[in-house]
Structures are given as C-alpha cells and as structure tokens.
Amino acid sequence: MINRRTLTKSLGAALAISATGTVPATADTTEHSKRGRYLIRGGAVVTVDQALGVLPRADVLIDDGKIAAVGRDLDARGAKIVDATDMIVMPGFVNTHHHMWSAIGRNYVADGFPYFAAKRATSLLYEAKDVYRSVLLGLAELANAGVTTVHNWSNNTRSPAHADAELRAHRDGLLRARFSYGHVDQMPRDVPMDLTDVDRVRQQYFSQGSAFDGLVHLGINLRGLSQSTEPAFIADMEAALGRGLPIAIHAGQAPPRIVDAADYERRGWLGPKTLLCHYITALPSDMEIMARTGTPLSWAPHSEYRLGTGGQKEALLGFRAAGVVVSLSSDATSIAPSDMFETMRLIPEAGFRGSLEMATINGARALGLGGVTGSITVGKRADVILVRTNDINLAPGGLFETTLVQAATPANVDTVFSDGRMVKRGGRLVAYDVDRIVRDAQTSSLRIRTAAGGILTPPAN
C-alpha cells in the first residue's frame, strides 16, 4: 500500500500554517466573519420548506448563526437591518460533488486537451501550499455564487500535509462542508488505498464530530471500479466502512455498468451514508434499490452531458420517479463553473421548484445535513442568500422560483450568510482577502503550468 506518512517530513512541518500561504484576516474580513443578530426585512422568501412555501413578502430573523423566526413584521430589537426590498431571500445552495484541489487548474484545458488529459499532466505537481490556495479560491468563488455548503471530493490527497492544507482552507473559507479524504491521483489500480492518515485527521480535527465551529464534517471518497480493480475496491470499501464515515463513489457515466446496486446492497454498502455520483448507467432496478435503501445521488449536469454517452435525461427522470434523493453538483471547475443557477437550467425536466429543491434541501439531505441547512426553517442554521430582482437580467420580475432558475446568475447575488456570518454584502465578498487569494492562486497555477510544460507552458511575454 502507498503510505502517506512517508510522503511528508513530519506532522509538525505539515501543520505549519505559514507553509500553506494562509490569507491573513484584515479588520474588515474579521468583522464580517463574526455571527450577529440580523433582520432581513421585506424580501420575497423562497423557503424551500414544504410547510412555509413561498412568502411574497416576509422577514427572516437571524440570531447567533440560527434562523430564529420567519414571518411578517418581526421584532427587530437589537438586530442589524438588512433591507431585502426587491430581493429574493432563499437558502444557500448545496454543491454535493466538487473536486476543489484542482480549482486553480480550471483553465489548463484546451482544444484537443480535455479534462482528463490536463489532470494527468498536472495532478502529481500540486504541493500542499497549492491545494490550500486552490481550495480557498474555490470556497470564495462558491460564496460569491451563493453556495453555502460544499462536498469537497478530495480525490488527490497526496500526503498528510496536503490533507492539512485543505482543512486549513476550510477553516479560513467559512463555508459549511464535508471534507472527503481520498486517494492519490494516478495510483496503481491494483493497490488498495492507505486510509491510515484518515484516522489521524479524524482524531486531530474531528474528535468532537465536526471541525471549525461545527462547519466541516469528515468523509471518505473511494475510487470505485472505474479507477481500481475489483479486489482493490473491495478492500477500500471494507476499510472505509470499518471507520463508520460517510462514503462517496463515482458510479460511472458510460458503459460498461460498473455499479450493481443489488450487489452493493447484498454487501451492506448502500444507505444514507453512501453517496453515488453520476450513475447514468443505472437500471430501473438499481434506482428502486437506491430509493429503498435511502442511498442519495449527486447529479452533475455539465459533466453528465460532456462525458456521458447517452440516456442522461432518462436516467435523471428515472431516479426522481423512483424516489431517490437527487442533488446537484459541479464536478471539477475545468468541466463546469461553480454556478448552481446555470446548473439548474440544465435540468428543465425537473421543473423550477424541483430544480431548486435539488440545489438546496436535497443536497443537504444527501450530505446528512437535512436538519441543519437547505431550507429557511426556524431552528436551522442561517445559510441564507439574497438575490436582487431589479437587475437588468431579472427585471421586470415575476414568479420567484421561475426567476431564480430561469434567469439568475451569481452576479445577482447581493448578500450571503454562512452560518449566520455575512460573507458577501452589496454584491462584494467582505469576509475574504480576494486580492490575496487571486494572487496566490496565480502564483501556484503558473508554477504548475510551467512544471508541466508542453501545451501548458505559459506564453512568453
């Protein structure tokens, strides 16, 4: 087995924050990273809560990170007023499948040089400081686009130092997340994963169940049969199940069918803690088994249509008809932007309300967070976004759910609360040093492109 402990000098060195290029907090970012008491006043509230529905005009009270009340003319004593006139108030989006380590590689692809070629040329070149910068860049981009929860599908966890760097990015990124510790990209197909460092990460960061003030929880992502032999995958699965952590698996976008749900059920591999992604090749019987066992699905429309070989629409309709919890995701940034508005528009067969549910509450349920986020419900955490409706691309307004799915973009996102912290306000990210994040990302990207050479070599000045 590949032992990650031999890939780093020492845990002490791996934990040195300065080695990852941590973005220092400014007075402005520190102020906005605090929780407070806010009254979001007078917006159209799309709650994605079946009991509350859509409220054409209402207030939302946020108190110490929690949604304290929803209704008309709420008591604002002690609260900062956030005027939501001409805005739609809705839960933050949930992205259930995002390879964040490669966010800085979004533009490595070229004509005749697609995603997998670019990944093969660069994945071995990422140092710990590069993945810190990449994940933090991705988190800031997500916040800007109204995504407040993300599943960091870390499928190139090259060493303990790399894992620590990603987790530090989550600490600094202020969004809700699952960090799914994964394999080393391009490792031999017949070699089982070494999950030893998962135990170290679990003890060091997640001994209380979650990390960073409750925002981040731990999972494991496995290669699946698309990237490993059957004996290696079985060994991986048993090792992961033995740890009792949530598991995520790529299920395949094209024949041959590599996931047999009946076989997985017999082996005890399915259930709410197993998240399958893609699975275009699923048979109706597979869908029925997933629904019966409560096994959720992550659906990445850009990726399904770019890399699948047919049957995408029929598969999505089949999963929904069977009762599977289907959520939405973006995959890698070189395949799709971190834009859930655009993602929703790619699945018209789900309808406007259905698309919104897949992008919010279903994503929360898929990550085991249905009681925490995904809807504007009293008692849930305050992951809330405000979308301007008087912008030129949304005017003159109309049905609120239709407006969000049909026409909105990240540019219309005015305000974002993550766990009651205001991270975007007035269309500007206020909880991040954006200039520093971009500069660091550029530095790492240039180094990796130069080291990769060939088609990725930057042009001469």
Residues forming beta bridges with residue 297, ordered by sequence position? 276, 326
Question: Over 70: is that where the pLDDT of 86 sits?
Answer: yes
pLDDT > 70 fraction of the chain, expressed in percent and rounded: 92
Q: What is the mean pLDDT of the chain?
A: 92
Q: Return the higher-pLDDT residue of 308 and 241.
A: 241
User: Nearest-CA neighbor of 107 among 459, 361, 375?
Assistant: 459
Residues 168, 271: one domain?
yes
At 140, give phi and psi (nearest 5°): -65, -40
Of residues 184, 150, 147, the one with CA closest to residue 170: 150
pLDDT of residue 306: 86
Nearest-angstrom CA–CA distance, 265 and 281: 17
Same domain, 82 and 145: no
Query: Can you tell me the distance from the alpha carbon of 100 to that of 116, in angstroms, rounded to the nearest whole number?
Result: 15
The domain tally of the chain equals: 2
* Block residue for tokens 């991705």: 138
Confidence bin at 33 (pLDDT 50/70/90)? low
**Which amino acid is located at 91 in the chain?**
P
- 217 three-state secondary structure: strand
Residue 235 shares a structural domain with residue 280: yes
pLDDT digits (tens, 9 = 90+) for 205-229: 999 999 999 999 999 999 999 899 9
- Condensed to tens digits (0 to 9), the pLDDT of residues 275-297 reads 999 999 999 999 999 999 999 99
**What is the pLDDT, as a whole number, of residue 31?**
60
- 108 belongs to a structural domain: yes
pLDDT level of residue 16 (50, 70, 90 thresholds): very low
CA distance 333 to 313: 22
- Residues 84 and 104 reside in one and the same domain: no
Q: How many CA atoms lie within 13 A of 247 on its CB side?
A: 24
> Is the pLDDT score of 22 beyond 50?
no
pLDDT of the residue at 76 = 86
The per-residue pLDDT for 188 is 95
- pLDDT for 343-357, tens place per residue? 999 999 999 999 999
Using CA atoms, how far apart are residues 70 and 61, in angstroms rounded to an integer? 6
Q: CA 239 to CA 243: how far, in whole Å?
A: 7
Would 413 be classed as within a structural domain?
A: yes
Q: Identify the helix (H) or strand (E) that includes residue 31.
A: helix 27-32
Instruction: List pLDDT tens digits, range 407-453.
Output: 999 999 999 999 999 999 999 999 999 999 999 999 999 999 999 98
pLDDT at 414: 98
The answer to the question of residue 72 being in a domain is: yes
Structural domain of 385: 30-91+380-429
User: Are residue 207 and residue 78 in the same domain, yes or no?
Assistant: no
Which pair of structure tokens corresponds to residue 68?
């304290």
The pLDDT value given to residue 28: 54
Q: Output the pTM of the full model.
A: 0.93
The mean-pLDDT minimum among 23-32, 75-84, 220-229, 238-247 falls in: 23-32
Sheet holding 274-277, edge to edge: 93-98, 147-154, 176-181, 216-222, 247-250, 274-277, 297-299, 326-328
Residue 301's identity, in one-letter code, is P
> Are both 245 and 352 inside the same structural domain?
yes
Question: What is the model's pLDDT at position 12?
Answer: 35
pLDDT exceeds 70 at position 406: yes
pLDDT at residue 21, as a whole number: 41
The C-alpha atoms of residue 444 and residue 129 are separated, in whole angstroms, by 8
- The answer on pLDDT for 461 being more than 70 is no
For residues 58 and 170, membership in a common domain is answered with no
Beta carbons within 10 angstroms of residue 435's beta carbon: 9
Q: Are residues 313 and 354 in the same domain?
A: yes
Mean pLDDT for the stretch of residues 172-186: 97
Structure tokens, 271: 């259930």
Residue 30 has a pLDDT of 56
**In 335-387, where does DSSP find H-type helix?**
340-345, 352-359, 361-366
